Structures are given as C-alpha cells and as structure tokens.
Copies of this chain bind each other. A is one copy, B any other.
Amino acid sequence: MSTPQGARARARIEVTVAIKDAARRQLAREGAAKLSLRAVARELGMVSSALYRYFPSRDELLTALIIDAYDSLGEAAEKARDAVSGAAPVDRWTGVCEAVRGWALAHPHEYALIYGSPVPGYSAPETTVRAAGRVGLALIGIVRDAHERAGLAEPPLPAELRPEGERMVAEFAPDVPPEVAVALVAAWAQLFGLVGFELFGQFNKVVEDREAFFRHAVTGLAHGVGLR
C-alpha cells in the first residue's frame, strides 16, 4: 500500500530517515571509514542494537547512503543540464561537468564513498545502478540534443570497437552515432578522473588554478565527443 496506514509505519519511516541523516552527518564529518553504528545510535539516543531493526548491517546503511549520494549528484547534474538548456552544446556540457565538480567539492566524503575505493567485500547491489547512471545520462542527453539540432563532428572509431559502440547505442544511448557513444563513455570516465584527482590531492603542487584548468579540460572532452 502506498499510504502508510499506521502510526507505526510512519514512525518507522521517520526513524529510518533520522538514522540516515545522522549517518550522513557523521559521514561528512569523519568519512566512511569512521562511520560507526554505535556513534549514530548514541547521537539518536538509541542503543546500537536497535539500529538493526532498520538496517541489517553497517554495510547496508552505507549502501543506502551510497544511493542517496548518487541521487544527490545526479540531481545536481540534471539541474545544471536543464538550467542551460538553450545554450550552445559545449556550454551545456561544461555546465554539467562543473556541476559535478561543484557537488564533489561540496560533499567530498560522499564523493569518496561513491567514486573512491569500494568499501566492504564490495558488491554494488542492483539498486545503485539506476542512481549511478544519472550523470552519464545527463551527458548523453546533451549530446543527443546537439546531434539532433545541429549535427556532431563524429570522432573516428576503430573497426574492432564498432560492435561495442552499437551495443552502447542500443542499450543506453539511443539516437546517437556509435562513434559518439564510445567517445562519450570515455569522456564520462575521464571527467571523474579530473574531479577525483583534484579532490584526492593529486593536483597538489601540480595544478594551481583548479577552476580554469578544469573548465579547459572539460571543454577538451566536449570536443572529443564531437560537440562544437
């Protein structure tokens, strides 16, 4: 039933949200490694074992936070895509990229949670897949719009990768040339390379003007996928 009919169901939802909020606060403060169920319980005035009524394990709680983080980032990306929907394709592209970077700088621990090392014995449940794809889909959307409106400069594609590109088109990038689909996936990964390096300190003593550097680099990515 979509309506929570009892006071109990409502309370359950509220407590679940409160747990996730407290956990997210700790996550932002200390990072995923130091997120402790007992500390979350303390903050809520509960006892640690009570949390197990809501999350079967610490990793399950982390998984819930992972999904939320993906959604939060995805929402930021989609908002940026829609905010500049009239602009030139390259500007829309860089707008989304800058939204991703901005979100990452604002939520470094959550970014580390989803794009850093996988935490436990590692398994990404099916639930995360949809949320994890939102940034990529936002980028695909921009490229598709540009393709339909003005055409793209199609990057070269070696013959051995053509089937791969056609599969990508069929599975998640409809109405986009296969050459572009392949380039898009590469640019998508490369975008997070740029963001991750800045966030995790690899750019220390290497890049000073991070913002200008990033804008320049993602403009290059846009050209790489055929945007003009």
Contact = CB atoms under 8 A, between A and B. Distances in A.
Contact of A161 (B204, B212, B221): B212
Interface stretch (A3-11, A39-47, A85-93, A109-117): A109-117
Q: Is the interface of A mostly helix, strand, loop or mixed?
A: helix
A164 interface: yes
Interface string A36-59: 000000000000000000000000
B206 A185 contact: yes
Contacts of A182: 213, 216
A96 interface: no
B118 A206 contact: no
Given A158-B216, A224-B220, A200 B118 contact: yes
Given A117-B200, A200-B117, A216-B158, A189 B183 contact: no
Contacts of A191: 193
A117 B113 contact: yes
A213 B33 contact: no
Nearest to A34: B120
**Interface size class of chain A, counting residues whose CB lies under 8 Å from the partner chain:** 35 or more
Given A33-B119, A189-B194, A194-B190, A124 B158 contact: no
Nearest to A136: B206
Contacts of A220: 155, 183, 186, 224
B205 A194 contact: no
A160 interface: yes
Nearest to A160: B212
Interface of A: 30-34, 112-113, 115-122, 124, 129, 132, 136, 155, 157-158, 160-161, 164, 167-168, 171-172, 182-183, 185-186, 188-194, 196-198, 200-209, 212-213, 216-217, 220-221, 224
Given A185-B206, A190-B221, A192-B202, 5 more contacts: A31-B117, A115-B202, A168-B206, A172-B206, A190-B193
